[in-house]
Amino acid sequence: MSRKCDLTGKKSMMGHRISHAHNVSKVRLLPNVQKKRIYIPSLKKFIRMKVSTSALKTLDKLGIEEFLKKIS
């Protein structure tokens, strides 16, 4: 499963883990992506999406249709 948000496009990043002795090793920073069923009132049906938790909070606040207007 690819860790990418279907709505925002948020995906994994590369970074560094730095020890106390300042040894540097590469690390993948994964987004918090959840599989959710989202109801679309205009279509009167549910769709299943992989959505980041930050996008879920915005969906709860605005609703799916306003959210899609905002990001496009």
Q: Which of 26, 38, 27, 30 is nearest to 10 (CA)?
A: 30
pLDDT number for residue 72: 79
Kindly state the tokens that stand for 3: 């860790």
Residue type, 69: K
Task: Collapse the DSSP code of 39 into the 3-class scheme (helix H, G, I; strand E, B; otherwise coil) and give the result.
Answer: strand
Q: Is the pTM of this model over 0.95?
A: no
pLDDT number for residue 71: 84
Task: Give the pLDDT confidence of 34-53 residue by residue, as tens digits.
Answer: 999 999 999 999 999 999 99
Mean pLDDT by runs of 10 across the 72 residues of the chain is: 90 97 97 95 94 95 91 82
Domains assigned to the chain:
13-71 (2.30.170.40)
